Amino acid sequence: MANNFSFKLIATDRSTKARVGEFSTPHGTFQTPAFMPVATQATVKTLSPRDIKDAKASIILCNAYHLSRRPGEDIIKELGGLHNFMNWNGPILTDSGGYQVFSLSKLTKVIDDGVEFKSEPDGNKIFLTPERVIEIEEALGPDIIMPLDQPVAYPTTAELARLAMERTLNWAKRSLAAQKRKDQTRLRQPACGTGRGYGGQVLFGIIQGATFKELRKECTERLLEMEFPGYAIGGLSVGENNDLMFEMLQTMTDIIPETHPRYFMGMGTPADMLRSIAMGVDMFDCVLPTRNGRNGWAFTSKGIVRLRNSVHKNDPAPLDENCQCYTCHNFSRAYLRHLFNAEEILGLSLVSSHNIYYYQTLMENVRQAIKAGTFADFMRDFSAGKGESVT
């Protein structure tokens, strides 16, 4: 197994900032732009690792905080690390739990030293510090790790946004200092384009700053000084309008050196991903394809198909005639609708895997268009072709 991290650009678009990259990790190489299915609890809900591979995903995302609560990182480490434990031998990225600060905010208290959570299953208090998060992630052993950060809810004041940004920057510095794995000594140097070895794990910096342009800029610049091998865009897509979100995104992608991977955390509608890719984003994750899949919503080349709608009750057609996935090859809309109505688990799994396949195919088509120099046309055709139609 290779032990090197590298990120190299293999194509750039002429009319936008879209690019195709190749990200190598100790558990394999994937091309960007890439979509990572969410496997919070070390499983992409309802899918086996074989299903995930069949759906063409090459990297997945797990959650360090949740796994430290249950089953505990010591058990996972004892069983050979996260890759062995869940039997996924491709690249894994772990989120730190920073987003839980935001999504469980009624249960949390944030102070300069870290975050206090009231844990859901037992009501016990847990104190999460940047150092503790790195300790968990080093024990779990994923390829790409995220530091503890503090996203803030939208809307917020400039004062609160600055406070959270300063904490995020301070925690980023503490996270770098907390890394103990001996194979990570060169981690602080830029990983990109050099092909040099970076040991077993890389830590990204997370940019915060809410919807304040000057804070986004300052946060990016101060993280760049710390020389992370990649940069994550956090705290967006949390209720602000799209114009504001893309204005913030542009501010950050304009400053991050082209040589470094950019990851937009939690971003996941197809149209928004395309617009982000045009601004130079390389990586995405979102619960949308799997959560919607479990609700009987399918993404297709003709728009959203909602299987509970009675129009599908005797339809022999597949979800998407243009899709090559296992579900579309083998099952009709009528059968899938029946599974949802009968509350059969197979339906959740078949539509989730179709949705992941749809996302992966979209990314593959995007990469091909960038390489062929036709990405701007691809974007135009995509938005003209389907819109938000629901059947």
Which parts of this chain interact with Zn ion (CB under 5 A)?
323, 325, 327-328, 354
CA 137, 142, 147, 148 dihedral sign is negative
- To 5 degrees, how large is the angle CA 9–CA 12–CA 15? 160
Report the alpha-carbon distance of residue 249 to residue 180 in Å, rounded.
32
End-to-end CA distance of the chain: 46
Of 5 and 357, which has the nearer Cβ to Zn ion?
Answer: 357
Of 140 and 323, which has the nearer Cβ to Zn ion?
Answer: 323
Q: Minimum distance from CB of 131 to Zn ion (Å)?
A: 44
Report the alpha-carbon distance of residue 208 to residue 156 in Å, rounded.
13
- Give yes or no for a contact between 332 and 354, defined as CB atoms under 8 angstroms apart: no
Q: Minimum distance from CB of 333 to Zn ion (Å)?
A: 11
- The total number of residues shown for the chain amounts to 391
Three-state SS at 305: strand
Q: Minimum distance from CB of 247 to Zn ion (Å)?
A: 35
Of 9 and 334, which has the nearer Cβ to Zn ion?
Answer: 334
Which residue is listed with tokens 């003209």? 384
Q: Minimum distance from CB of 363 to Zn ion (Å)?
A: 15
Of 328 and 379, which has the nearer Cβ to Zn ion?
Answer: 328
Q: Minimum distance from CB of 72 to Zn ion (Å)?
A: 37
Q: Report CA-CA distances (Å) from 307 to 86, 339, 342, 347, 354.
A: 31, 10, 12, 10, 13
User: Residue 264, Cα to own-chain centre: how many angstroms?
Assistant: 7
Q: Transcribe 35-91 into DSSP letters.
A: EEEB-TTSS-TT--HHHHHHTT---EEEEHHHHHHTT-HHHHHHTTHHHHHHT--S-
In this structure, the dihedral spanned by the alpha carbons of residues 148, 150, 154 and 158, taken in order and rounded to 10 degrees, is: -150
Report the alpha-carbon distance of residue 77 to residue 84 in Å, rounded.
9
The residues carrying an active-site annotation are 95, 285
Of 54 and 227, which has the nearer Cβ to Zn ion?
Answer: 54
CA 267, 269, 270, 276 dihedral sign is negative
Q: Minimum distance from CB of 43 to Zn ion (Å)?
A: 21
Of 82 and 298, which has the nearer Cβ to Zn ion?
Answer: 298
Of 19 and 354, which has the nearer Cβ to Zn ion?
Answer: 354
- Give yes or no for a contact between 235 and 208, defined as CB atoms under 8 angstroms apart: yes
Q: Minimum distance from CB of 51 to Zn ion (Å)?
A: 12
